[in-house]
Amino acid sequence: MLNAINEEIVYVNGQPRKLIIFLHGYIDNADYLEGKLQKFISMFDDTAIHLPQAPISCEILDDKRQWYSMHRFDPNDERKTVPSMEACVEIYNKMTLGLEEAFSYLNDYIDACLSAYQLEDKDLYLCGFSQGAMLAIYTALMREKQIGGCISFSGIMAGHKFLLRHAQSKPDMLLIHGDADNLVRFAAQDFTKKNLQHLGVNVETYVVKGGQHRITQEGLDAAADFILRHALSQRKIA
């Protein structure tokens, strides 16, 4: 299969009752993400944690990876510099095709992981940073069955016009964003929250004061709390 995910870093703590899949960002890779997540990984018992590597070499640095091309839709990186949020959103809307292409191979990977541990969608927590967060949000909304939850680090609801028409699920989400983010502007958090709520998604937000475009331990602690709370709630329902 074209662009199938065949590289990953996997941690299995105990007998998995939940699955966390964490997607790295653009110009990034699973190895770098792993270095950021050691404390986070240690916070979960009876959990499988997968860090899949995007199968596409990055268009900027060929030793890094991308889930889809950004320059295909924004060749001059104008999303970072346009003055208005409206103009920024329109650029991210152009990325719907890239997101859909990435979703097609990520979705197969998720199915294979759930099957391997004999888990269900409700046991899955999908996380992502930056471009990985955009793909995580897209995938969480487009899967036929509702997952346990989705966490976005420094992301945005890219392709929101398509998602508002075609989303199939509405899992709970946590949006984590630094208020000094210089790459995906902080206003993306409120934009994403409002559009997700329009779909009927329960949304929590967490602001990293002074946070720039990176994963922080503060944000990871908030993400772990979100997952543990939701997993406990799922067990009570079961």
Read off the pLDDT of each residue in 62-89 and give the average, rounded to a whole number: 96
Rounded CA separation 188/164 (Å): 16
> What is the residue type of 1?
M
Asked if residue 217 is part of any domain, the answer here is yes
Asked if residue 2 is part of any domain, the answer here is no
Q: How confident is the model at residue 236 (pLDDT cuts 50, 70, 90)?
A: low
Residue 106, domain extent: 8-237
Look-up of token digits 């897209």? 138
Rounded CA separation 29/64 (Å): 6
Q: What is the DSSP string of 82-100?
A: -SSHHHHHHHHHTTHHHHH
Asked if residue 3 is part of any domain, the answer here is no
- Please state the domain count of the chain: 1
Query: What CATH number is attached to the domain comprising 97?
Result: 3.40.50.1820
Strands 8-13, 47-52: pairing kind: antiparallel
Q: How confident is the model at residue 9 (pLDDT cuts 50, 70, 90)?
A: very high
Asked if residue 136 is part of any domain, the answer here is yes
Residue 185 has pLDDT above 90, yes or no: yes
Q: How confident is the model at residue 35 (pLDDT cuts 50, 70, 90)?
A: very high
Q: For residue 234, what pLDDT is reported?
A: 73
Rounded CA separation 102/223 (Å): 24
**Residue 76: partners with Cβ closer than 8 Å, 6 or more residues away:** none
Q: How confident is the model at residue 3 (pLDDT cuts 50, 70, 90)?
A: confident
Asked if residue 211 is part of any domain, the answer here is yes
* Average pLDDT along the chain: 96
Give the pTM.
0.97
pLDDT, tens only, 150-162: 999 999 999 999 9
Read off the pLDDT of each residue in 48-54 and give the average, rounded to a whole number: 98
Percent of the chain with pLDDT over 90: 95
Residue 238 has pLDDT above 70, yes or no: no
Read off the pLDDT of each residue in 158-174 and give the average, rounded to a whole number: 97
pLDDT, tens only, 105-162: 999 999 999 999 999 999 999 999 999 999 999 999 999 999 999 999 999 999 999 9
Q: For residue 232, what pLDDT is reported?
A: 82
Q: For residue 2, what pLDDT is reported?
A: 66
Rounded CA separation 238/233 (Å): 9
Residue 1 has pLDDT above 60, yes or no: no
